[in-house]
Amino acid sequence: MENTWTLAAVAAVSRQDVFFALALAATLATVALLVVTLRLEQRRRHDPTARPDRRGAHADPRDPREALALVGDTLAATHNPKALLPVILRATAEATGAAAGRLIDAGEEISSVGAIPLGSEPLELELASPGEGQTTMLLYAPAGGFDAEAERLAVWLASQAAIALENARLHHVVQRQAVTDELTGLVNRRRFMSALGHEIGRATRTMPPSIILSDLDDFKRVNDRFGHPIGDELLQSFADALRAHVRDIDIPARLGGEEFAVLLPETSLEGARAVAERLQQFLATSPLLVGPGRDIRTTASFGVAQLVEGEPADTLLRRADAALYQAKADGKNTVVAAEITAA
């Protein structure tokens, strides 16, 4: 059973690492280009031998590269689209000389700068949407209005901001996929092991954590009789049951196949066993899937273990897995708690 987890986890992590690397590379490339552009511009500004442009001056004070650099710095610091939006608005308003600006997402204002001149009609710019609805940036012209150059600059900055927002959104999606089981929405083995390591690291200051390993009984029969789509629905329903029976601070996970786990911080062995028994009783009395002409019931076996002082994560998992194996050997549909022994 443990070898099955390992093989499934290696394959999943490999795919997730590839996706994560691609998204991260795209984001870093964008930021690198912005930083290089900014540095070249700064060097040119401070070089007394720099050639003036045809108007006999150096850069226009509305140089778009400064605005892009500001967005790039923020993109490097956070990949949250919502955090980028106010920066984009402020940078674009300053670069174009706008008197004011607003950001409207799904019909609601989410950010604003400056004071809107009375009777001013805004320049509307559509941005990539970080939420459910379209995001629109409204720029209000200063006295005398926008000239043609300022309008072109606003449109160009909006297009570059849309790229930055899309990079941030993709990074967020890939990052979430790297730690989330796609079918059930629970955390995956990789994230579970990370959280377990964190809890082990703080166990000396609090009550040690406990874990529950769970395996749906005779799951293969469900797939053979009803098909894999129904089997997937059953796994999703079991994941929902896990969420409903644990605390907000607990971390339910799908380790692979029909095998699940729950990390319970600061929880005694008796407390973890009580959670497992509640789940067992729920499954015994309630069908997980209800459909026309059929209700699908299932049971599960549970292995429970609490961390022993000085015990590494893999040893704790082996003890919980041994308890789960014993629950299967005892006839399934039962809970077995691992004995607490010295590390």
Tell me the C-alpha to C-alpha distance, in Å, between residue 24 and each of 101, 128, 160, 165, 174.
31, 19, 18, 14, 9
CB 191 within 8 Å of CB 253: yes
**3-class SS of residue 95:** helix
Q: Name the catalytic one among 258, 277, 309, 339.
A: 258
CB 165 within 8 Å of CB 87: no
Give, as one character, the DSSP assignment of residue 131: S
CA 57 to chain centre: 47
Report the run of H or E that residue 152 belongs to, with start and end. helix 148-179
The gap between the terminal CA atoms of the chain, to the nearest Å, is: 22
CB 182 within 8 Å of CB 227: no
- The one-letter code for the residue type at 238 is F
Mark residue 99 as left, alpha or beta (left: phi above 0; alpha: psi -120 to 50; beta: remaining).
alpha
Specify whether 258 is catalytic: yes
DSSP E strand boundaries for the chain? 100-105, 108-114, 123-127, 135-140, 210-216, 251-256, 259-264, 289-291, 294-296, 300-306, 335-337
The contacts found for 294-297 with CB under 8 angstroms, 24 or more apart, are 294/226, 296/222, 296/226, 296/230, 296/234
**3-class SS of residue 230:** helix
Q: Which residues are catalytic?
A: 258
